[in-house]
Structures are given as structure tokens and as C-alpha cells.
Amino acid sequence: MEKIEILFDEKQIDESVKRIARQIEKDYDGEEVVFVGILKGAFMFISDLAREVNLNTKIDFISVSSYGQKTTTSGVVKLIKDLDNDIAGKNVIIVEDIVDTGLTLKYLTDLLNQRKPKSIKLCTLLDKVSRRQVNIVNDYVGFQIKDFFVVGYGIDYAQKYRGLPYVGHVILED
Ligand code: IMP
Ligand code: MG
């Protein structure tokens, strides 16, 4: 069994969503933004963020799966579901739940850049900076965390805990 210890509660998450939303509004003043959520983990974060950002926004989703060899830097992710709409000429913000090695975001930014968007920025609720294997820069970050395994607010452990309204640290016990 496992125990969940709260790392960031609803109030802390709400404050960080609002802080990021204000930054995005400032950076894209008067422009349209396409939020690209990475399924499934980012569904809760993107829905809160989209409600908070007062700009013309569009929302699309993409889904990738890891090949399981998280330590190799090539062919690490597979595209499961592509975007529904073209992003050529658009301001894209990729919305992720948590960035670990950075391989997923590296793959996705390379893929989406080929489609000639006007711009691409990266937004993540959680950032495990010490685990980074590739050089990607997160433009908007909710919280930097240590190398904890976390769940909640969209993030799972074996598909469990996505519905929790807070982010928790998983403590394995037997
Ligand atoms: P990356 O490609 O190594 O950056 O992996 C990012 C993905 O790994 C995230 O989108 C999550 O799906 C998953 N992941 C990384 N750390 C955690 C965690 O602590 N809990 C749950 N999933 C995680
Ligand atoms: Mg994910």
C-alpha cells in the first residue's frame, strides 16, 4: 500500500495557476494562444489555467507514451494522439503536468516546431530540475520539486490518484 503526503494544497495550486495566468496575459497581450495539453496528466492543470487566462485561447490535446527506456535519449516517446488542429502561425503553449528528464517535451517541441508555429513556450505545473537529461527551458513553472514521486491534480500512480485536488508525495509502505 501507499500513503500520500500533501506537498501542494488547493490554495497553493490556485495561487500558482493565477501567477502563471498573469504572466501569460502579459506576454501575449492582444494575441491568440493555443494551449496544447499533454494527456492525461495535464487535464486538470490546463482546465484551471484556461479558465484563468483572460485572452483569446484555443485548446487542443496531444498524447504520447514513453517506450519505457527513460534513460535513452533517442526514440523515447511515441505519438498516440496528434493535435486536431493546425498550429502554423499560432502562439503555442505546451501545458504539462510534470517535467522529469525533459525527453517528452524535447520530443514534442521538435515535432511541433516542424509545423511552423509563430512561437512555442513550455508551461509545467511541476519541474524536477535535478533530473533533467536534455536542455529544455520551461517558460512557466508552478513549482520546482526534488526527485519525489508525486500524484494528484491529474498526475497518476498506476492510473490512480488523478482526481485528488492537491499534489501529494507517494510514500510506499508494506
Ligand atoms: P520526462 O519525459 O522524463 O520529462 O517525463 C515526464 C512524464 O513522466 C510526465 O509527463 C509524467 O507523466 C511522468 N512523471 C514524471 N515524474 C512523475 C511523478 O513524480 N509522478 C507521476 N508521473 C511522473
Ligand atoms: Mg505526462
The pLDDT assigned to 149 comes to 93
Q: How many angstroms separate the alpha carbon of residue 98 from the centre of ligand 1?
A: 5
- State if pTM tops 0.75: yes
- Please tell me the distance between residue 62's alpha carbon and the centre of ligand 2 in angstroms: 10
The whole-angstrom distance between residue 166's C-alpha and the CA centroid of its chain comes to 16
Whether ligand 1 lies within 6 angstroms of the CB of 43 is answered as: no
Report the C-alpha gap between 66 and 68 in whole angstroms.
Answer: 5
Task: Note the pLDDT tens digit of each residue in 21-37.
Answer: 999 999 999 999 999 99
d(CA 51, CA 17): 10
Ligand 1 atom 3 nearest Cα? 101
Grid coordinates in use for 10? 488547493
Using an 8 Å Cβ cutoff, are 17 and 45 in contact?
A: yes
Ligand 1 atom nearest the C-alpha of 150 is 19
| DSSP bridge pairs for 66 | 77
* The predicted structure's pLDDT at residue 77: 84
